[in-house]
Every structure is written in structure tokens, then in C-alpha cells.
Structure 1
Amino acid sequence: MKNYELVLNRVEADLAAGRLRLGERLPGERSLAEQLGISRPSVREAVRVLEAMGVVRTATGSGPEAGAVIVAEPASPLTALLRLHLATNHLPMGDIVQTRVLLESWTARQAAERQAGVGADGRETAGAVAAPGLSDELSVAEGLLDRMDDPGLTPEAFHLLDAEFHVALSALAGNVLIAAVMSSLRTAIHGYVLAAVPNLADWDATAVGLRSEHRSIVAAIRAGQADQAATLITDHIEGFYEAARLSR
């Protein structure tokens, strides 16, 4: 085991045991080095790895804000990892499309079921009501659609809002990890999606169609129509990639 891995294992154990919590600082560089019997450069290497993993945020200096603070930012390192593997062509775009369909159809279904007040057993509960706050979250997604209605948007601006919209939808399912994965996926493939715009026969017509499909998906979720929401978002994702010739 490399020396810096000793620090990673120590931090993982302390987080799992509750000895370290979000917002708290790691022990000082000298303290960790002495406790683990390793050099201070090894500790610095470990902190750099933890920062790249989105587990800590560092600040230099000697004031109260200095040092390495425990954070939880999984989307950033996931995005970097996906972008690198996409660049090596190790992750085929077709696999990305299938993954998006799998995740987003599930999240759309879950969101619609939450909206309908469906219980954990899949049955509608008596006097079912939508999950608290879900209507407000849907309103956030609808606000993004309103911004996308601007006919003067460039394709890049449209797709940035589109990415934000899909991430907002994924958050409606209430699964933090899936929301982080979706955020990473959308960010990682943004450049590839934008580069495919010239492959579309008519961008303006495509944008009109995407706006309509987005509205239909949100309407199905708001109406608690789980099967319809899942089907609509599947057709939406596959249709765009096929039109842009990105799914091969």
C-alpha cells in the first residue's frame, strides 16, 4: 500500500465512524504524518487526491479558513472521469444513450409516482398526496422550459438549459446519487451534443420539437402518469440522438 493510501483509508474510516463530518477540517499535515508514520509530502499527496475526488476543499494560509475541509461534491470528479474516458473512446456514445434512458426513465417514473402519492409497495395510498415540495421542484423545471422558449437562444445556450432541465428532472426522484450521476453525464457529453447540431436537418424545427417534448414529459409527471412519463422521456432521448446521429 502506498503511503498516501494510508491517509485515504484513515479519512474513510473516520468519516464512517462519525469522527469526521461535513464542514470539519482534516487534522493538520504534521499531525497526520506523525500518527500514520509517513512523510508530510505523502500527506500532501493524499489531500490532493481527496480534493480531486471531491471529498475535501483546501485553502492556503494560516487563518480560520485554511486547511482541508470535508465537503461532498461527487459530481465534479465523476464529470472529469467521464470526459476523459469519452475522449479515449472507451465509452461508446451508444452506451451513454442507453445509460441515460435507463436512469432518466426511472427517475421520471419515480417522480410521477411521488406526485401521485404512490406508496413504497407500488400502490396508491388512501388520500394520496404529492410528496412535499415536489410541486415546487416541478415549477423549477418548468421555469427552465420558459427560458428555453426564447427564440433567440443559440444552440449552445439552448443545450446548457436543456442539460440543467434534465438534471432538475432527475432530482425529482429523490435519489441523490442518481442526480449526481446525471449531472456528470450531461456535463461530460455537452460538447459532443453541441458538435452534433450541424448534423440536424433543421435546428429551429428540432428546437421546437424538443420544447414540445419537454412540456409533455413535465405534464405527465405533474399528472402522476408514471408509464407515460417514462415512455415520453425514453422517446425524447433516443429520438434526439438518432436525429443527431450520435448513438453509434
Structure 2
Amino acid sequence: MPEARAWQVVLERIETDLLEGRLRPGDRLPPERELAANLGVGRSSVREALRVLEVMGLIRTGTGSGPSSGAIIIATPQGGLSALLRLQVAAQGFPFDDVVRTRLVLESAVVDALADDETRDIRAAREVVDAMDAADLTPAEFLVLDAQLHLALAEASGNLVIAAMMAGLRSAIETYVRAGAEAIGDWDATAARLRAEHRAILGAVDGGDAATARTLIHAHITGYYAEAGLARGTT
């Protein structure tokens, strides 16, 4: 078996074991030597597979001996998903329109879930909105806070997959939104409108009005892109 492909065999075995319940979060993977012998691959291929899994956020590795040594399956891989999305975005692997459409789907789901959740906690989002009222914010500073607001709402929804995807797309969102700001003639007026829209969205969420929250978030996102001359079939 070519060494360049052998590490994929290791990934496939671990994936199968996870799907079939033979491995669970907290379990320790077999030692490198055992994995290599069982799968008929070199230990270098096993190490390569483990590096990939660690970057993906699926395992944590420790050296030496004892309870923290070896490769352990972890239960919070969302950091790996965010990292992979950020890399794809940085490499321009996703068309701009697809990023915007995905954002619309994700953020509509976020406000819908929050509005329906009587135990919602959106204090972090409100703190960001309050920070955006500062009069001395530059457009760049304002838009960094804007991205943080949308991420805070995603995190408040409790959906780890959506929060991870939003975190992964954040750099793309910031880049496009910042580029659009340069094309806006009256930034102060736009910032005032965005502040009002943010508060209206949070008001609908706090009022448990999911339909209005979805309508507002859709109009908020598409409206900015249209005003900044970025919209290309995003409605």
C-alpha cells in the first residue's frame, strides 16, 4: 500500500469505530505500534493520521505514560471544524454568494431557536450591541463588533455545529463586510441603521417572535450587502 495513502486507512478505521460505538469520547486509541500492525501500515502513517485528527479537534495527544498519555478521543471537535472552514475560506475555496447564503440559513436558524427558547441567555449579545453605541468607533472597529455580535448569538443558541460554522466563516464575513464599508458614502447613517436593526432583532428574540426575528435577520444581512454593492443573487 502506498505510504501516501496509508494514513487514510487509519482515519477510516477510527471513523468506523466511532460510528459503530467501539470508540467513544474519553476512550484512548491503541498505541501506534498496535494500530500499525492491525492495519498493515507503517507507524509513520499512523502518526500522520493522528496529526490530522488532532488538527480536526477529534483527539488530544499526550506524551509519556499515565492517564494523560497517548491519543484520547475528545467530545468537543467544534474547534477543528472552525479551523477547517477558516482555511477553506482563506484559500478562497468557497464562492462569496455561497458564504452569504449559508450565513442566511445559519443565522435564521439561530434567531428562530433563540426566540423559541424561554431559557435563552443573550446577555453577551446585548453587551456587544451596547459597545457598538460608542461614538468614536472606526468603521473597522464597528464591523469587528458586528461580527462578534452575530457569533455571540450563534453561541447563545446552544447549537455547537452552527456556532462552529459561524466561527469558521467569521473571517470571511468580516473581510467582505469591511470591503463593502469602503463603498458606502454615508457611513454614519449606515451605522445608525445597523444599530437599530440589531436592537430590533434582539427585541424580537426576547419577545419570542421567531417569525419576525427571521424576517429581520434576513433583511439585515441582505440589506447591508445590497447597500455596499456586494449582493449578487443573495436574496
TM-score class normalised by the smaller sequence = 0.7 to 0.9
- Within a 5 Å distance, the mapping from 1:143-182 to structure 2 comes to 143-182=127-166
What is the alpha-carbon distance in structure 2 between the residues aligned to residue 234 and residue 145 of structure 1?
Answer: 18
Q: Does residue 240 of the first structure (1) align with residue 224 of the second (2)?
A: yes
Who is 2:39 aligned against? 36
Structure 1, unpaired ranges of 5+: 115-129
Q: CA deviation at 1:75?
A: 4.5
One-letter amino acid of the counterpart of residue 211, structure 1: R
Distance in 2 between residues matched to 1:81 and 1:181, nearest whole Å: 7
User: Under a length normalisation based on structure 2, what TM-score does the superposition of the two structures give?
Assistant: 0.83
5 Å matches for 1:47-196?
47-59=50-62, 61-62=63-64, 64=66, 65-71=68-74, 72-81=76-85, 83-84=87-88, 87-88=91-92, 91-114=94-117, 130=118, 132=119, 134=120, 137-196=121-180
**Higher RCO (CA-CA < 8 Å; seq separation 6+):** 1
Contact 2:61/2:69, CA 8 A, preserved across alignment: yes
Q: Give the share of equivalent positions with the same residue, in percent.
A: 45
Q: Distance in 2 between matches of 1:53 and 1:148?
A: 34
Measure the CA separation in 1 of the matches of 2:177 and 2:152. Answer: 19
Question: Any idea what SS the aligned residue of 1:69 has?
Answer: strand
Distance (Å, rounded) in 2 between the aligned partners of 1:77 and 1:103: 15
Counting matched residue pairs gives 227
Secondary structure at the counterpart of residue 57 of structure 1: strand
Deviating above 6 A after TM superposition, structure 1's stretches of 4 or more consecutive aligned residues are none
Q: Please state whether the residue corresponding to 1:196 is helix, strand or coil.
A: helix
Q: Does 1:11 align with 2:14?
A: yes
User: What is the RMSD of the two structures over their aligned residues, measured on CA atoms?
Assistant: 2.5
User: For residues 86-114 of structure 1, what are the alpha-carbon distances to aligned partners after superposition, in whole Å with 9 as ceiling and x for unaligned?
Assistant: 644x5332222222122212321232122
> What letter is aligned with 2:40?
G
SS at match of 2:182: helix
**Which stretch has the larger CA shift, 91-100 or 229-238?**
91-100
Output one character per residue of 1:56-83: Cα deviation in whole Å (capped at 9) or x when no partner.
2345x42655543323333544454455
CA contact (8 A) 1:108 1:226 kept: yes
Judged with a 3 Å threshold, the aligned counterparts in structure 2 of structure 1 residues 195 and 109 are, in CA distance, closer, same or farther, namely same
Distance (whole Å) between structure 2 residues aligned to residue 188 and residue 202 of structure 1: 24
Aligned partner of 1:74: which letter?
Q
Structure 2 CA distance for partners of 1:176 and 1:80, relative to 1, 3 Å = closer
Q: What is the identity, as a one-letter code, of the residue corresponding to 1:106?
A: A
Contact 1:25 1:69 in 2 (8 A): yes
User: How big is each residue's C-alpha offset from its partner over 1:110-163, in whole Å with a ceiling of 9 and x where there is no partner?
Assistant: 32122xxxxxxxxxxxxxxx2x3x1xx212211221222222333333323222
